[in-house]
């Protein structure tokens, strides 16, 4: 009788193990969207060749080729091969990126009675669904993704989206001929503007894409998106600029204004170039709105130019000035006696900030930043995006009918 009882207990134990394996463990189908960095900046995927330099030591403009602005005064003849000619000209400068990444998933361990009951009992089963019988256990695993990018320098420097290479442990670059892949490392990436600069190692001649002027884009202007959508290598889509200076409620916590386009941008196209009909890059394709049709967003290339020194140095922490500003309306300008063009209205100044220490006050109108007139509020935001702690900022303000110059040094904000 004792042996039978032992055998019965053993069977019961084995059945319990089987239930735990079959029902007690479940893995989340999607990675946790924490946005946190799992891969350390000390990892071998990061190229630190410029990290010992300072902003004074580099001229990031030498890293890219500017478009030929005089061409923009020429009309482009549209015919059946216009887009094909442009695509043929630039295709060798567009690359596909294949990355191996670390991602955090969640495994839930435990048994819910609803998992083992043969039938569900009203009210009781609902109660079981509410009670957290399963305990979430986070873990890190390998994942693979694809994206796009474009070459900006003959030495193999490539621009792409930060989210394409975020938490990457291995990056492979495939050129347009698709015969070989080349290793690449991250020079720097900026999660705020969703831009990244990587460098590939290869010994072949490279095609460089010139960077245009996104500020000169007009709503309704034709643009071309190129990339690797859904794994379909080197695809070309045509559309227009639907709008400029867009804030997407789903992207980057509204830190950056985007170019909105109806040129198809699908998963895998991220990081690819948005081009004007002169073959110049005017934006970096970054995202789609899943709930909508024909609405895509691109980071303006002028924003990328502003943060390029940060990408080169791998230093993307923003300097703190401590002033909140907004676009100046005609009515506000009239009330304050300002008749000039453009300008940004100061709404508030934080206590203890560099702005307060230099005497900036609410209702001041900022009309110039670092020697450049402020014709647009978004230009003001973009200029600040490219400034790190230690950078000096020179303002010209309008107050009580007079103009006045202010100078300040941005600092690291104390978040405690």
**pLDDT at res. 264:** 79
Domain range summary for the chain, segments of one domain joined by + = 40-94+146-314, 323-409
CA distance 309 to 197: 10
Rounded Cα distance, 58 and 56, in Å: 6
Is residue 96 predicted with pLDDT exceeding 50? yes
Lowest mean pLDDT among 151-160, 357-366, 374-383, 386-395: 374-383
- For the ranges 210-224, 243-257, 285-299, the maximum mean pLDDT occurs at 210-224
Whether the per-residue pLDDT at 107 is higher than 90: the answer is no
pLDDT-based confidence at 379, cuts 50/70/90? confident
pLDDT number for residue 69: 64
> The domain at 323-409 falls in which architecture?
Roll (2.30)
Least confident among 99-108, 130-139, 391-400: 130-139
Mean pLDDT comparison of 129-133, 168-172, 261-265, highest-scoring range: 168-172
For residue 143, the model assigns a pLDDT of 67
pLDDT: is 326 or 140 the higher one? Answer: 326
pLDDT of residue 63 exceeding 80, the answer is yes
Mean pLDDT check: name the lowest of 63-77, 197-211, 234-248, 320-334. 63-77
Q: Which of 126-135, 176-185, 289-298 has the highest mean pLDDT?
A: 176-185
Residue 96: count other Cβ atoms within 10 Å of its Cβ.
23
Calculate helix-pair angle for 301-313, 377-385, nearest 10 degrees.
10
251-273 per-position pLDDT tens digit: 544 457 899 998 878 777 889 99
Per mean pLDDT, which of 173-177, 245-249, 253-257 is the most reliable?
173-177
- Among 130-144, 160-174, 331-345, name the one with the lowest average pLDDT: 130-144
pLDDT band at 416; cut points 50, 70, 90: low
Q: Is the pTM of this model over 0.85?
A: no
Span 404-411, mean pLDDT? Answer: 92
Model pLDDT, residue 252: 47
In percent, the amount of the chain with pLDDT more than 90 equals: 45
Is the pLDDT assigned to residue 126 strictly greater than 60?
no
Q: Facing residues of 224 across strands?
A: 238, 275
% the chain with pLDDT above 70: 76
Token pair belonging to 215: 């500020």
User: Among 94-108, 246-260, 353-367, 380-394, which range has the highest average pLDDT?
Assistant: 353-367
Look at residue 115 in the predicted model and tell me its pLDDT: 58
Q: Copy the structure tokens of residue 242.
A: 């639907």
**289, 294, 295, 298: CA torsion to nearest 10:** 110
Give me the pLDDT at residue 151, please: 97
State the average pLDDT for the chain.
82
Q: What is the pLDDT of residue 8?
A: 56
308: closest CA among 80, 60, 15, 77? 60
Look at residue 4 and tell me whether its pLDDT is greater than 70.
Answer: no
Write the DSSP assignment of 306-330 as a string of letters.
HHHHHHHHT--PPPB--EEEEEPPH
Nearest to 395 by CA among 363, 361, 362, 372: 372
Going 239 to 240 to 242 to 244, the CA torsion angle's sign is positive
CA 216-222-228 angle, 5° bins? 105
- pLDDT tens, residue by residue, 5-31: 555 555 554 554 444 445 445 555 555
The answer to whether 214 touches 300, Cβ cutoff 8 Å, is yes
Question: CATH number of 40-94+146-314: 3.30.360.10, 3.40.718.10, 3.40.720.10, 2.40.10.120?
Answer: 2.40.10.120
Q: Which residues are catalytic?
A: 163, 194, 270
User: In sequence order, which residues have a C-beta less than 8 Å from that of residue 321 and are 6 or more positions away?
Assistant: 353, 354, 355, 384, 393, 408, 410
């Amino acid at each position: 009788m004792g042996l039978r009882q032992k055998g019965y207990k053993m069977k019961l134990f084995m059945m319990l193990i089987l239930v735990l394996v079959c029902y007690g463990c479940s893995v989340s189908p999607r990675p946790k969207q924490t946005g946190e960095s799992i891969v350390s900046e000390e990892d071998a995927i990061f190229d630190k060749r410029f990290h010992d330099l300072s902003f004074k030591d580099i001229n990031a403009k030498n890293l890219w080729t500017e478009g030929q602005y005089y061409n923009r005064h020429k009309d482009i003849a549209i015919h059946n091969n216009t887009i094909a000619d442009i695509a043929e000209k630039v295709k060798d400068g567009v690359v596909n990126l294949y990355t191996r990444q670390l991602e955090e998933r969640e495994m839930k361990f435990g048994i819910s009675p609803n998992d083992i009951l043969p039938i569900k009992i009203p009210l009781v089963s609902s109660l079981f669904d509410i009670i957290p019988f399963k305990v979430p256990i986070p873990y890190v695993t390998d994942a693979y993704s694809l994206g796009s990018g474009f070459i900006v320098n003959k030495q193999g420097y490539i621009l792409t989206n930060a989210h394409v290479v975020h938490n990457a442990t291995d990056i492979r670059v495939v050129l347009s001929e698709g015969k070989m892949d080349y290793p690449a490392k991250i020079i720097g990436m900026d999660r705020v503007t969703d831009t990244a600069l990587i460098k590939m190692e290869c010994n072949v001649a490279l095609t460089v894409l010139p960077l245009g002027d996104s500020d000169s884009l007009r709503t309704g202007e034709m643009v071309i998106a190129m990339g690797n959508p859904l794994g379909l290598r080197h695809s070309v889509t045509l559309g227009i600029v639907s709008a400029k200076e867009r804030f997407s409620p789903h992207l980057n916590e509204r830190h950056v204004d985007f170019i909105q386009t109806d040129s198809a941008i699908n998963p895998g196209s991220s990081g690819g170039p948005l081009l004007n009909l002169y073959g110049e890059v005017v934006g970096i394709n970054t995202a789609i709105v899943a709930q909508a049709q024909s609405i895509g967003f691109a980071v303006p290339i002028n924003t990328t130019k502003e943060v390029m020194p940060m990408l080169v140095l791998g230093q993307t922490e923003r300097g703190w000035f401590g002033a909140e500003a907004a676009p100046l309306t005609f009515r506000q300008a009239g009330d304050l006696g300002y008749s000039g063009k453009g300008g940004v209205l100061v709404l508030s100044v934080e206590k203890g900030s560099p702005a307060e220490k230099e005497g900036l006050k609410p209702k001041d109108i900022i009309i110039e930043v670092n020697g450049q007139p402020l014709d647009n509020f978004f230009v003001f935001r973009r200029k600040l995006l490219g400034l790190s702690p230690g950078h000096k900022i020179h303002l010209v303000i309008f107050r009580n009918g007079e103009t006045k110059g202010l100078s300040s040094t941005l600092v690291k904000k104390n978040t405690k």
